[in-house]
Structure 1
Amino acid sequence: MHIAVYLPPLLSLVAPLGARPLSERCEPRLATWLLTVSALVLGTASTISLGLLAITGLIRIPLLAGLGHWSTHSAQRDDPAQLSVALVAGLLLGGALLTAVRMLWRRAHTLAVAAVDAACMPARDGIVVLDDDAPDAYALPGLPGRVVVSTGMLDTLAEAEHDILLAHERAHLTAHHYAFVALAQFGAAANPLLRPLATAVTYTIERWADENAATATGDRKRVARTVGKAALAAHQLPALTRATSATLGILGRRGPLAKAGPVPRRVAALLAPPLRCHPALTITTAAVLAAATLATAEAAHDLHRLLTTVGAWR
C-alpha cells in the first residue's frame, strides 16, 4: 500500500497528456472507446484509492476502532499513511462522491426529459423538422431517438447536403454517443484531473459521426464542406440558443471553443485520408489502465492485511 495506493492518482495526472494524441491520431471509434474507458477506470481507481487512504485514518479513531475490534496503537504503528494524508483523502473522497452523484442525477434527468420529448415529437422516418429560421441540427436520445433539424439549417445547406446532415445525426443515435459522453463525464466528475479526457470524447464522437457520414455518402470532401457550412451558420445563433440546444449535433461543441479549434480540425481530418488504428497508442493506453487496476487491487489487498494485523494485536 506504500506505493500502489498512490499510483492511480499519479496516472490521472499524466493520462490527460494522451487525450489529444488519441483524438487526433487514432481512428475515431477506437479513440472514443479508449478515452471513455480511461476516464471511467482511472476515475474509479483514484476514487477507490482515496477511500483506502481515508479508511487508514478512520481505524485510528478509538470509537470506530472499537466497532471493528482494531487496535489504534497497532494502526498508528503499522499504517504506512500519515494521518494528515488520510484526512485530506477523506475530504477529497467526499467531494468526489458528491460531485459524481450530482452529475449522475443531472445526466439521468436530462436523458429522461430528452426521451419524453423525443417520444412526443411527431416525426417522419425519425426526423423532426422545426419551423425555425435559426440554423440548428442535433440528435435527441430516446426510445426511439429523433433527429431534429430546423428549416433554417435545411435552407442553409444545399439539397444534396441534406443526406450528409441526416447521416451524421443518425450516427449519433445508432452508436449511442450520448452514453459515451455521459460515462466519460462521470469519470471526470469523480476525478477533475480527467476532464481533458471527457472533453476529447465530445470531439471524437463528432469525428466518429463525420466518418460515418463520409462512408455513407462516399464523398469526404462534400462532408467536410457541409460540416464547415453548418459551423459557419451556427455562429448566427443567439448565445442562449446555442447554450440550450443539444450537444450531439453536426455543429460539434458549441460556444467559444467551437470557434477556436474543433470544427477546423474535423474539416482537416475529413480532407485527409481516413485514420487507422494506432497500435502504439492503444497498447500504451491499455498498459496505463492495467497498471491502475492492478495497483488498486494491490492497495486493497494491503489494506486487508493491515486490518487483519491491527485486529490480531487488539
Structure 2
Amino acid sequence: MRLAVYLPLLLPALAALAARPLADRLHPRLATWLLTVSAVALAAASSAALALLALAGLARLPLVAALGHWSARVMQRDDPTALWTALIAGALLTAAAAAAVRMFWRRIRILLAAAAEAACLPGTGEVVIMDDPAAEAYAVPGLPGRIVVSTGMLHALDPAERDILLAHERAHLAGRHYLFTAAAQLAAAANPLLRPLASAVAYTVERWADEDAAAACGDRRRVARTVGKAALASSRTGARSRFPATALGILGRHSASLRTAGPVPRRVAALLTTPPGRRTLPLAVAAAILLAAALCSIEAAHDFEALFELARLR
C-alpha cells in the first residue's frame, strides 16, 4: 500500500489546528455540526487506516496466508508495509478500539443516569428550583429533559436575565447538544489527536445556546451581561460541586472560577460583536480535509484489495 494509507493518520493533526478558527469564525450551529462530523469521520478514517496496515502485516504470516488461501510470498514481496509498522498499527488500533468502547459505555451509562435523575427531580414542570445559595443552572437531558436552577442563581439575576438563562438552557435541550459533545468525545477517545475538536464542540454548543438566547430576547449585549453576571455569581458562591456529568449549563463545562473560566470570556466577547456569518474559507478548509481523508481511505482500501487479488492468483 502506498502513501494514501498514512495520510488519514496525519489529517487529524491538521484538523486540530483548524478547530479553534472554525469555532470562532463560523456560526456556532454550523461549527458544531461541522466539527462533530469532522471528528467522527476522521476518527473512522484513521481507524480504518490502522486496520488496513495491521491486516497487511498479518496477511504476510505463512499460517494466516494458508488459512486465507493466498500467497504469503507475494504479500511479502509486493506489500511495502514493514512488519514492524503493521505491529505498531495493530497495537494502536487495539488501544483505540478499547478506548472508544470504554467511552461509549461510559456515555451510555451517564445518559441513562441523567434520564433517571431528570425523572426523579421534584415537581413535574420543565424548570426545577433548588434551594441552594450556590449560583448554579444547567440542563439535564432526559425524556423530557429538565432545567435545574438554584435560588442563588435566581437571586443573582434580574427577571429579564432569568429569562435569558432559561432560554439558554432550553436551547441545550431543544438542540440535543449533549449528543454532539458525546459524539466528539467518542471520536477523541478513538484518536487523541482529535481532542481539540472535542473541546471546540464543547465551546460551540454553548455559543449556539447563547445565540438562540440572543434571538429570543433580541439583545446580544444583555445576553453577554447575563453570562458575565452568572460567572461572577458562580465564582463568589463556590458552585459547580454537584454538576452532573452529562449536563450543560450557561457557564459551560469548566467554569469553577474566573481563573479557569476558559471559554466564558470568549463567549462574552463574541456576543459583543456582530453575529458570525457564513465564511467560505473555513468551510473550504474543513471540506478539503474531509475529502482528502475520504479519498485516501478509498484509495488505500482499493490498493489493499488489489494486493489480495494478486496474492490469490499466485
Q: What's the TM-score once normalised by structure 1's chain length?
A: 0.95
Match of 2:206 in 1: 206
Q: CA deviation at 1:257?
A: 8.8
CA distance in 1, matches of 2:35, 2:103: 19
CA distance in 2, matches of 1:116, 1:260: 29
For residues 205-252 of structure 1, give each alpha carbon's deviation from its aligned partner in whole angstroms, at most 9, with x where no partner exists: 000000000000011111101000111122245487066565410011
CA RMSD of aligned residues (A): 1.7
The amino acid across from 1:291 in the alignment is: A
SS in structure 2 at match of 1:133: coil
Task: Note if contact 2:110-2:246 (Cα within 8 Å) is conserved in structure 1.
Answer: no
The amino acid across from 1:3 in the alignment is: L
Match of 1:108 in 2: 108
Task: Note if contact 2:133-2:237 (Cα within 8 Å) is conserved in structure 1.
Answer: no
Match of 1:36 in 2: 36
Once structures 1 and 2 are overlaid, which stretch shifts more, 42-51 or 233-242? 233-242
Task: Note if contact 2:231-2:255 (Cα within 8 Å) is conserved in structure 1.
Answer: no
For residues 95-123 of structure 1, give each alpha carbon's deviation from its aligned partner in whole angstroms, at most 9, with x where no partner exists: 00000000000001000110111122234
Match of 2:71 in 1: 71
Once structures 1 and 2 are overlaid, which stretch shifts more, 230-239 or 251-260? 251-260
Task: Note if contact 1:247-1:254 (Cα within 8 Å) is conserved in structure 2.
Answer: no
Once structures 1 and 2 are overlaid, which stretch shifts more, 154-163 or 124-133? 124-133
Match of 1:8 in 2: 8
Match of 2:308 in 1: 307
For residues 154-190 of structure 1, give each alpha carbon's deviation from its aligned partner in whole angstroms, at most 9, with x where no partner exists: 1111122110000000000000000000111111111
Task: Note if contact 1:29-1:205 (Cα within 8 Å) is conserved in structure 2.
Answer: yes
- Structure 1 residues 269, 215: CA separation in 2 closer, same or farther (over 3 Å shift)? same
- Structure 1 residues 260, 136: CA separation in 2 closer, same or farther (over 3 Å shift)? closer
Task: Note if contact 2:35-2:201 (Cα within 8 Å) is conserved in structure 1.
Answer: yes
Match of 2:163 in 1: 163
Q: Runs (4+) of structure 1 moved beyond 4 Å? A: 237-240, 242-247, 255-258
Query: Percent of aligned pairs with the same residue?
Result: 59
Which sections of structure 2, spanning at least 5 residues, go unmatched? none
State how 1:186-225 maps to structure 2 within 5 Å.
186-225=186-225
CA distance in 2, matches of 1:286, 1:117: 39
State how 1:1-314 maps to structure 2 within 5 Å.
1-123=1-123, 125-236=125-236, 238=238, 241=241, 244=244, 246-255=246-255, 259-313=260-314
CA distance in 1, matches of 2:239, 2:250: 17
Task: Note if contact 1:129-1:150 (Cα within 8 Å) is conserved in structure 2.
Answer: yes
Q: CA deviation at 1:125?
A: 3.8
SS in structure 2 at match of 1:94: helix
Q: CA deviation at 1:130?
A: 1.0
- Aligned pair count reads 313
Task: Note if contact 2:235-2:257 (Cα within 8 Å) is conserved in structure 1.
Answer: no
Once structures 1 and 2 are overlaid, which stretch shifts more, 248-257 or 277-286? 248-257
Task: Note if contact 1:139-1:146 (Cα within 8 Å) is conserved in structure 2.
Answer: yes
Once structures 1 and 2 are overlaid, which stretch shifts more, 113-122 or 49-58? 113-122
Task: Note if contact 2:172-2:205 (Cα within 8 Å) is conserved in structure 1.
Answer: yes
CA distance in 2, matches of 1:124, 1:24: 38
Q: CA deviation at 1:260?
A: 4.9
